[in-house]
Amino acid sequence: MRRTPSRKRAGAGTAAVTALAALLAVPTAGTAGAAEPEQLTIDLATDTGAFHGGASGSLYGVYGDGVPSRNVLEGMHVRTVSTKAQDGPQHPGADALEMLPPFVDSGGKDVYIYMTDIYRGFPYQWPGADGPARLADFKEKIRKQVQQVLTMGDYQDSVVYVPFNEPEGNMFGTGEWSYNKISWLNDPQYFLAAWKEVYHLIKGLDPDARIAGPNTSVLYDQVKGFLQYAKSNDVVPDVMTWHELSSPAAVRTNVAKYRQMEKDVGIDPLPINVNEYGHNYHLSVPGQVVQWVSAIEESKIDADLAYWNIDGNLNDSAVEANKGNGQWWLFNAYGQMSGHTVQVTAPHPNQQYTLQGVATLDEDKKQSRAIFGGKSGDADVVFKNIDPKLFGTTVHATVQEIPWTGQVGDSPQPLRLADRKLAVGADGTVTLPMAGMNEMSAYQVILAPGGKGGTPAEPSVGWRKTYEAENATYTGSGYSKNGPEGSPSQVGKFATSGAYNVGGLRTGSDGVLGFDVEVPQDGTYDLSVFANSYNLYDLVKEQGPTNVFLRVDGKDPQELRLPLGYKWVVWGHTDTTVKLTAGKHRITLAAKDPDLGVTKGDAIIDKIDLALRDEHVTAPAIYEAEYATLSGTRPRYTDAATSGPGTVPLGKGDSATFWVHARADGESTISVDHLGGGHADLSLNGEKLDVPAVGGGKKGQDSVLVFLSGGINKITVTGASGELALDRLRVTPSHGALVPTIYQAEDGHLSGAAKVTDAYTFASGGKAVTDIGDGKANALAFDVTAARPGRHAVTIRYSNAEQAPATHYNPDPIARHADLSVNGGPARRVLFPTTFHFNNFWELTVPVTLEKGTNRLTFTAQELPDFNGDTYNQYDQRSPYAPVIDRIAVTPLTQAPPARAGRATTVTGHSSTTSSPSSSATYAPTT
């Protein structure tokens, strides 16, 4: 389960940087002697099996209900989770039976319970004078765990028991805490006997139980002997598990090796869960993880991302509670694949750190999807054997990029590089030349029939460029060039753009980091600073977020607060805008500014991204209905005058679900474009919205004002009457209709020990309320006013940096909770993930129902007992306190229905403010 700890950072840390090409791929005549580009070939005629979706698993990725949010869970299509035994003291949160219901309700399939994690430490510190005594203690704990699972009703059907974890180096290894200091790899009798005892114990209590094992750290040759013993003694596991902290190539090789073991032993093929895969260098990086995904999907197994850092963030996929980074969007794309996988031939088959991919063909939807990545530069993506009966003689191709945005950096939806109608060649092929790819990005291509010539969408990005910190000019004291960071030979280190980063901007420094940039035209540019501060480093602990000062050509100063992380070289990004004229400029980040002050803290800088904020970026985000997750229906490609290749007919009860990004909590305009024929209802995050049905008899656009949570929102359009031909959604931030009312915590009603504090300088107005909880008497209440009854969004600005003592290299932040009640009614428990420092404030939105007029919202908390209610965690892993609360904002969830029935309010004139992460690839098709 755990390997080499991340190395400690003594100074400003390290980082890395990769240059991003900015090439325009245009078909050109061949040049004599020019090398042919690499080619990724997708053969739509070679079926390799039903799409499985097994790579979207997670070890310790779910802390509890809300961390991450159900939107993030469902939208990532998480299939399996391996997690600790209920009430286990390994880590805070991730208790199996607390995360089981929200996980299953969010579409999850199986929860693998690490039964050994009922013990503290690693290796597991199981008590007893000798091996038999230790095993007896463990069996009693197993008995209790199974009995607890049996109280979970239908949810217990999703439980898989994992009795042992890495037994060869742990309970049945040679260490201090082993059974008898004899490794089962050398003498298996003790482990095999224990396996048999535990197997019968679990099945005796729960005859329908599924048991997984042996859960070794690698697929040892000795697993074959385990299978022989298990068959002979009728204790064959229901699921075969091991760990692949190796490479994607090893996944394919070892799955084939294991399948041969099964044949040799004479047992039927078992489901496989490789319940740890990947390293720090890979996780969060779409271009790295897609290589693992391709191997796992090809092998038709389940697999869980490894747990190297903090739990509850889906292994560096989730940001805050409700946001996703680039890795999240990769799995969102992967999870929306359907039908059957088809043969993908990579230019370097089964070789890590090269271009790899996975592709599907869904004949019912008449769509092919491919995701690929792992290479910088140029390559051709070739679809061959395109069936004219499915696609016709033309195809509509949508090409997207999923950039790397760091471990703790929020990402918008994938960038649309191109959307075009292409003729299929006489040989049944279409070639997409990809130019300027970034090895840290993943890419998606969706092919659909060309249809009747739907209008292609414009790219969602314009000019953009990256500038590496190690190539910038540094003046003043304290400079350090850190790296190289993660690499194929150093997979335990974190990935960094270009492998290097720069330190020096810290307390007491006079350093200035200058980037010489050149832009093509006058305009406003999105500027994204990729940076990191280690939250527990001495200089950072004083203030929290490290502040630095931005100037353009020595003018227009801005103060930026840089992202915190749980370790050094954990990247996020701070975003702003700058106005630039065409030509050259110097952008500086400084530790001192004559007008604004001085830096407090210590930061490392990876790179800056610049992107022209033109009509490509400011246009509403487009979500095509034919690419949505569909239920009860399939796309139609025969309608004329559509956006994209087609529409989706929604009869009564049919639905289309979209995963919509919002940069921040607040009002957005959802425009529903349709061709008429019926009406449909809208739901947001599982709740039907109190707005009139959209649609009508003729083609039109219905716009609805809704409050979107920052990050991931689930919007579902469900047929209500007739058959609505749904074309697309367009989403843009707006303002002025759903106006929030702000309530400062210090103005609320405090009781008991809850008190106002001015210790946190980044609280709005410099004040917040702390010590809420440790009993219901210590509370904070707000009297809020609603203009009308109904659903409202309560956005809580909070901080939480509580962290439990750890026995290992995993940081152990605690997700505090608050019990929120409205007008004295039943409390709703809300989890708040760590913000990495009590002076670092985030926002989290909770929907509530308010009465017209004055309502009282009350926040309390108290320490939660263990599952049976008779004991409490003894390692301070369950906090009795709510987070520090700065303020709340109360906003209607939707605009009040208009007086005239049957139509939604139409709103126009709003422009998007979503920025586009920089990283470049463009494409131009040929046939």
Beta strand ranges found along 545-693 (DSSP E): 547-552, 555-561, 564-565, 572-580, 583-590, 592-593, 597-598, 602-612, 621-624, 629-631, 648-650, 655-662, 666-674, 678-684, 687-688
The predicted pLDDT at position 233 comes to: 98
Low-confidence ranges of the chain (pLDDT < 70): 1-34, 453, 896-927
Mapped onto helix, strand or coil, the DSSP state of residue 600 is coil
Overall pTM > 0.85:
yes
The predicted pLDDT at position 896 comes to: 61
Backbone angles phi, psi at 218, to 5 degrees: -145, 170
- State how far the Cα of 654 lies from the Cα of 695, in Å rounded to an integer: 14
Amino acid at 865: P
| Residue 582 contacts residue 521 (beta carbons within 8 Å) | yes
Question: What contacts 286, CB < 8 A, 6 or more positions away?
Answer: 326, 327, 329, 330, 373, 402, 403, 404, 440, 441, 442
In 3D space, the residue among 310, 300, 221 whose CA is nearest the CA of residue 261 turns out to be 221
The predicted pLDDT at position 915 comes to: 36
* CA torsion angle 907 910 916 920 (round to 10): 90
The predicted pLDDT at position 672 comes to: 97
DSSP of 430-442: EEEEEEEE-TT-E
Q: Give a three-class secondary structure readout of 889-925.
A: EEEECECCCCCCCCCCCCCCCCCCCCCCCCCCCEECC
Q: CA dist 206 to 149, 479, 641, 704, Å? A: 9, 62, 58, 50
Q: Which helix (H) or strand (E) covers residue 695, if one does?
A: strand 694-696
Q: Distance from CA of residue 43 to its chain's centroid?
A: 30
Size (the chain), residues: 927
In 3D space, the residue among 757, 704, 708, 746 whose CA is nearest the CA of residue 898 turns out to be 704
| N-to-C CA span, the chain | 48
The predicted pLDDT at position 8 comes to: 32
Region for 386 from its dihedrals, namely left if φ exceeds 0, alpha if ψ lies in -120 to 50, beta otherwise = beta
